[in-house]
Structure 1
C-alpha cells in the first residue's frame, strides 16, 4: 500500500510542475479534445474513473478494469468549424495486464490557399492531415488499484510542412477508497513530452536581404517550437445502487492546464436502469474572472447496452455538447465486447 500511495503522491505533485506557467499556445491541441460519448456526456467529470477501452484517452490506469477478454470501439465527433473527428480503439486483456491500440483522425476538409498578395485565394486548396496513434498498457495491482500509461505519436501535415511529436499519459485509479464501497479516486497526468516544431520545404521562401549582393535567393523560415498541452486531473466518484435495478453515479473533477489560462471544475452524473438504459448530464465550469472558456456549459447524453436485451455485448452512446460561438458538438460511439 505504501507504493500505491507513493504513486498517487507523485502524480498529484505533477500539478505543481506543469501548472505553474500558463502558456497562451501549445503544440498538438488535438490531444485535448475528448473522444467517446459516455464520459463526454458527463462533462468529463468521471473520465479519470473510466474503465476498459474508453479509458485509453481519459485515464489509462482504468483500461485493465475491462469486462471480458477485450473491447473495440468506434466514435465520431462533429467538432467546431465542421471538423470531423473519428476514433478507433481496441483493447485485449492478457495475463500480464491489458494492451490497447487506438487511432484518432481529423477531417478538416479542403481549405483555400491565400497569400499576402492574393488574399482572396490562389485557386489552390490544401487538406490538412492530422492523426494521433496510441499504444496503451494497464495493470491491476490489486482488487482496488490499477495503473496505466499511454504513449502517443502525433503527426500534423498540411501543404509542404509537417510536424511530429511524442507524448505520454500516466494514471492511477483507487477503488473502494477508505473501505467505502463505491467511492473511487482517479489521478492522471496527460500529454507529457518534448516540444513540437514544423519543418519542410514549405518554409523556404524567395527573398532579398537588404544590403546583400546575392539577389533573390531561397531562405528558410525557422518555425518556433511549442510545448505539449500538459494537464493534470484528479477526481472522485461514487456509485450508489438503489434497489436491484437502479444505479446512480456521481463524479467531480479538477483539471489544471498549462496550455490555457483557465482551469476547469467538472461535475457529472449517470443514471442507469438494469444496466441497459443510461441517462447522463454534466457541467464544465471553466471561468476565471473575465475569462470564460467556450466549453463553460452543461452536457447531456444517453446510452443503451444491448447485452441483457439480445445477448450481444454491444452498446451505443450519444453526447450533446454546447459550445459558445459555435454550433453544438454531437458525439456518437459504438462499443463491442468479446
Structure 2
C-alpha cells in the first residue's frame, strides 16, 4: 500500500493530451513532472503555469521554471493540490458536525539535467512533498531519475525513468511506501511532409501499487505552431482517452508564448478533466 497518490496525477495540457506517453517527448520545464532528462533539451529560460481540474471539485496548480547553461540545465517546480472543504462526520453525528475540514498536498522540486553526448541526456530531481488532512500532516523527501536517448535511426528516441523513490512515510501509526513508478518510453516522427509532422509515442508504466498500464500518444504539428493531440491509456479503469491542442500563439523577438489544452473523460460518475497550460519561453 502506498501514500502520496497526488504524485500520480498527470500535469500539463500537452502531456495529458497525449495520454501521458511523453517520457521521450517533453522538452521544457514541465519535464520535471515526467522525465527530468528532458530539461536538457530546453533552451534559455522557460516558465510554465498549469491548472488541472480534478475529481470531486479539487484542483491542481503548478509552476515550473527551467534555465539552460552551457554545462547543464536546472529547473524548479511547485505543485499545489487543493481539495474542496468538506464537513467532518463522526459515529455520533454521521450527517455532519458542522466543522469544515481542510486538506491538500504540496510539492517543491529542484532538478538538474545534462547532455552527456549529442544523443544521451541524464537528469535527476529531489523533491519535498507534504500531505495535510486537517490537523494531521506528514512530509518526505523523494527522488526522480531519468534518461533519454536519440538512437540515430530516423527520429526514434528511447527513455527510462524512475519516479518517486525514497523512504517510507508514517502519517499516524502505519507505514506507507511512496508511489514508485518505473517507465520505459519510445517515440518517432512517423510522417513528415513539408511543414507537417506526425509524432507517435509509447510509454509502458510499471507502478509498485497497481497494475501495469500502457500509454499511447500522437501529436500532429503544422509549422511547429499548431498542434493536435490524442492519447489512450490501456488497462486503466478511469481516464483512458484524452485529446487536446496547442498553439505557439505569440512570438516577439526571442520570446514565445504557448498555450496547451487537454480534455479527458472520466466516465459517468466523475466529471471530465480539463487541463490548461500557459508558458513563456525566452530563447
Q: Does TM, normalized by the shorter one, top 0.5? A: yes
After superposition, the C-alpha distances for 1:198-233 in whole angstroms (9 at most, x for unaligned) are 24xxxxxxxxxxxxxxxxxxxxxxx21100100111
Establish whether residue 57 from structure 1 lines up as the match of residue 33 from structure 2.
yes
- Larger % of helix: which? 1
Residue of structure 2 aligned with 1:322, choices 265, 268, 277? 265
Partner Cα separation in structure 2 for residue 317 and residue 99 of structure 1: 23
State the match for 1:153 in structure 2: 128
Partner Cα separation in structure 2 for residue 307 and residue 186 of structure 1: 31
Partner Cα separation in structure 1 for residue 132 and residue 45 of structure 2: 33
Residue of structure 2 aligned with 1:252, choices 202, 205, 208? 202
Q: How far has the Cα of 1:284 moved from its partner?
A: 0.4
SS at match of 1:316: strand
Partner Cα separation in structure 2 for residue 181 and residue 50 of structure 1: 18
Partner Cα separation in structure 1 for residue 253 and residue 69 of structure 2: 27
The size of the alignment, in residue pairs, is 281
Q: 1:106 to 1:116 in 2, by over 3 A?
A: same
Residue of structure 1 aligned with 2:217, choices 268, 272, 286? 268
Alignment of 1:49-198 (within 5 A): 49-67=25-43, 69-175=44-150, 177=151, 179-198=152-171
Residue of structure 2 aligned with 1:43, choices 4, 15, 19? 19
Q: How far has the Cα of 1:241 moved from its partner?
A: 5.5
SS at match of 1:38: helix
- Larger % of strand: which? 2
Q: 1:48 to 1:190 in 2, by over 3 A?
A: farther
Contact 1:48 1:188 (C-alpha < 8 Å) held by counterparts: no
Contact 2:24 2:157 (C-alpha < 8 Å) held by counterparts: no
Q: How far has the Cα of 1:306 moved from its partner?
A: 2.3
After superposition, the C-alpha distances for 1:67-94 in whole angstroms (9 at most, x for unaligned) are 2x11000000001111110001110112
Contact 1:49 1:186 (C-alpha < 8 Å) held by counterparts: no
Residue of structure 2 aligned with 1:331, choices 265, 275, 280? 275
SS at match of 1:270: strand
Structure with higher Rg: it is 1
Contact 1:48 1:234 (C-alpha < 8 Å) held by counterparts: no
Contact 1:150 1:169 (C-alpha < 8 Å) held by counterparts: yes
After superposition, the C-alpha distances for 1:25-63 in whole angstroms (9 at most, x for unaligned) are 311101111101101101011234321212111100111
SS at match of 2:15: helix
TM-score by length of 1: 0.80
SS at match of 1:49: coil
What stretches of structure 1 of length at least 5 have no aligned partner? 1-24, 200-222, 287-291
TM-score by length of 2: 0.95
